């Protein structure tokens, strides 16, 4: 690629060139035949920005608030795993980037830096993503550690009673490393649970606000 990257697709191409294939496939891939992944990309491409005409644009302000916390634009860093596979500082570097951009990072439970390491890296608003586990003591441990470290909300992922069958990872014979946030608690394999009482379970362990991710249909909320 000639010159500096100017859009997301060009950054992705640089990542493909720079990363070992097994890591790039993990970041860029999805489950099974990746049909849902393709649909997500197509849905995002279908979003159209509606321009406002004949208005004063001398001062443009994209800032907004999420749970009362002001951010520079309606863009957050979603929870994603294993940042150290792409950068030696891992999620610590991501947290600093989020702080520099005045936005919120949602730390994944599968992060390669601990809850505490990310919290001490910089002064910023952070949320923590987790699941409800069959072993409730694990959920309690993670949520309470996040609250002690100043995280402002829990982002609860509710669509993974079973993990997806990621074919690229299977072909690459990828082995998951020990999860940093679970050291001393469990082995690499952590079992989630499909439960309709997610919020009451988490609410027992924290006073933080809770959000959900991966709600696909309105009827899932009833």
Q: What is the pLDDT of residues 187-212, one digit of tens each?
A: 545 555 545 445 666 777 777 888 88
Kindly list the distances between the CA atom of residue 219 and the CA atoms of 53, 59, 205, 215, 222, in Å, as whole numbers in the listed order: 38, 41, 27, 9, 5
Q: What is the reported pLDDT for 188?
A: 45
Q: Strand, coil or helix: what is 28?
A: helix
The Cα 161–Cα 121 span in angstroms is 32
Cα 183 to its chain centre, rounded Å, is 20
- pLDDT greater than 50 at residue 176: yes
Query: Which pTM value belongs to this model?
Result: 0.86
**What superfamily would CATH give domain 60-221?**
Aldolase class I (3.20.20.70)
């Amino acid at each position: 690629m000639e010159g500096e990257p100017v859009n997301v697709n060009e950054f992705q191409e640089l990542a493909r060139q720079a990363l070992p294939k097994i890591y790039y496939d993990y970041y860029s891939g999805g489950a099974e035949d990746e049909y849902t992944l393709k649909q997500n990309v197509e849905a995002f491409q279908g979003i159209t920005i509606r321009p406002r005409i004949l208005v004063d644009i001398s001062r443009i302000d994209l800032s907004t608030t999420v749970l009362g916390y002001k951010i520079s634009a309606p863009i957050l860093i979603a929870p994603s795993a294993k940042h150290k596979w792409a950068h030696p500082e891992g999620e610590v570097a991501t947290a600093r980037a989020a702080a520099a951009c005045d936005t919120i990072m949602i730390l994944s439970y599968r992060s390669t830096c601990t809850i505490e390491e990310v919290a001490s890296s910089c002064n910023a608003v952070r949320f923590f993503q987790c699941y409800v586990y069959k072993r409730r003591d694990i959920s309690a441990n993670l949520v309470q550690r996040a609250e002690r470290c100043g995280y402002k909300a829990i982002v609860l992922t509710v669509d993974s009673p079973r993990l997806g069958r990621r074919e690229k990872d299977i072909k690459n014979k990828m082995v998951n490393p020990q999860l940093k946030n679970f050291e001393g608690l469990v082995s690499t394999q952590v079992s989630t649970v499909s439960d309709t009482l997610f919020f009451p379970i988490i609410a027992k362990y924290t006073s933080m606000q809770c959000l959900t991710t991966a709600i696909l249909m309105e009827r899932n909320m009833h």
